Structure 1
Amino acid sequence: MKLALLSDIHANVQAFDACLAHARALGAEQYALLGDLVGYGADPAAVVERAQDLAEGGALLIKGNHDAMAVLPPADVNTVGESTAAWTHAQLDASQRQFLDGLPLTLQQRTILLVHASVDDPGLWRYVYDQRAATASLDAAATLPEVRYVFGGHVHMQSLYYRGAGAGLMKFMPTPGVAVPVPRHRHWLATIGSVGQPRDGNPQAMYALFDTDKLQLAFQRVSYDHQAAATAIRQAGLPAFFADRLELGR
């Protein structure tokens, strides 16, 4: 089975649609959305509606920090990430907010564990941005029966960590479109990047495709109309900074 892993869509419907189409063309049979459906972007309702349709079809979904903020916006805005929460909340209807609120923080499917941030207390939204943080997350996952693969997002970058013969973790930088063997005798942790707001200097959307039969993981980059997504942000009256990010990929 080919499992498409998509995270950090951030209300970018143009990028979301492009990644879904790309995954289908590559034979994706199942979908997993790893949090932050909303936040930053101009089309939260459209993205949540697509996510609800996928969920009805059997897709796996978990909650991200921006999803939580859209349900209950902070009273005081202290970070850039919090600045669109109240606006996003107003764009969603009650059933969409209820849908986001009901999403779990983690979800295990046999050897696979899905999490938005770190398995080590996922509600604290810790970033898995280096080997130390990846070790803490993978150590927490190791207490769960069967888990060999941890897939997450949150950091908006694509990376792959694995535990080799020793106790330490090794980091592997993937090449887009090139399948990486991920055998079950090792433990793996991947941050799959951001569909809707990449931050590595490349505006192309990110996602990953896991072949559960061949045990291969392929990180993908997808071109989409990021100018249209940026224009939609400006027209919605949201901070231009978020539009600039889409155009620059950072």
Structure 2
Amino acid sequence: MLLALMTDLHANREAFAACLAHAEQQNVTRYAFLGDLIGYGADPAWVVQTVMDYVSKGAYVLMGNHDVAILQEDKQGMNPTARQAIEWTRAQLSPAQIDFIAKLPYRIELQDLLLVHANAWAPEKWEYIDGVMEAMRSMHASKAAITFCGHMHIPTLYHMTLTGKTGEFLPTPENGIPLSKQRRWLVIPGSVGQPRDGNPAACYATFDTETLELTYYRVPYDHETASAKILRAGLPPALASRLLTGN
């Protein structure tokens, strides 16, 4: 099975459509969406409906912190920009789409693989994996050999030896990486809809469950259109400018 791993779509129709088209060209056989389908972007209804369509064909999907926020009255934990986007987003979604989000799981286990949005130790608390120590904590919290997670918008790969020594590196797009069974791995594909590493191109990854080969991709898309739609929707301008710079 060739699994496409897409996370932090953030209601960005242009980026999501480009990644789906690219994944189809790679002959992907199954999809996993690791949360944050919505928030920030101007096309939440289209993105959620598209994910729903893929789920009906066997795709996996997780709850993200922006997803759960539309179900909560108290959004004090979010910054004002994110909160404004979530309040606008809820009004764009149909009751069926909100019900779909409400039923999303926080974790999915697939044999020796774990899918989470934020981390393995407390996936519903949204703490970040922003370094080796947090990556180690997440890997120790799971028996899975390979964990895939989102939340961090920068593509990163962590590895831990049998003795517990942990390291990280930033992957090069389109170079296959064999994930040795002699190590444990934590894979962060980067964000489809809101890259934050200085490159506006969308991020996602594929994983071959037979060969254990992981490949990261960067997919250029019409970020100028996506940015302009955010402004037309009356959302905070910072959300629009972020798509132009990838920061």
| TM bucket, shorter chain | over 0.9
Which residue pairs with 1:208 in the alignment?
205
Secondary structure of 1:124's match? coil
Secondary structure of 1:206's match? strand
Q: Distance in 2 between matches of 1:19 and 1:209?
A: 11
Which residue pairs with 1:61 in the alignment?
61
1:158–1:191 contact (8 Å) kept in structure 2: yes
Which residue pairs with 1:111 in the alignment?
112
Which residue pairs with 2:155 in the alignment?
158
Residues 1:75 and 1:124: Cα distance change in structure 2 (over 3 Å): closer
CA shift at 1:186, angstroms?
Answer: 1.7
Q: How many residues align?
A: 246
Q: Distance in 1 between matches of 2:50 and 2:33?
A: 11
Q: Distance in 2 between matches of 1:44 and 1:91?
A: 7
2:156–2:168 contact (8 Å) kept in structure 1: yes
Alignment map for 1:67-78 (pairs within 5 Å): 67-74=67-74, 76=76
Q: Distance in 2 between matches of 1:5 and 1:155?
A: 14
Secondary structure of 1:81's match? helix
TM-score by length of 1: 0.96
Which residue pairs with 2:23 in the alignment?
23
1:23-48, Cα deviation, whole Å (9 max, x unpaired)? 11011000000000000000000000
Residues 1:46 and 1:167: Cα distance change in structure 2 (over 3 Å): same
Which residue pairs with 2:94 in the alignment?
93
Match of 1:149 among 146, 149, 152: 146
CA shift at 1:100, angstroms?
Answer: 0.5
User: What value does the CA root-mean-square deviation take over the aligned residues?
Assistant: 1.2
Percent identity for Structure 1 against Structure 2: 43
TM-score by length of 2: 0.97
Q: Distance in 1 between matches of 2:121 and 2:105?
A: 15
Secondary structure of 1:114's match? strand
Q: Distance in 1 between matches of 2:63 and 2:193?
A: 16
Which residue pairs with 2:234 in the alignment?
237
Which residue pairs with 1:6 in the alignment?
6
Gaps of 5+ in 2: none
13-22 or 78-87: bigger deviation: 78-87
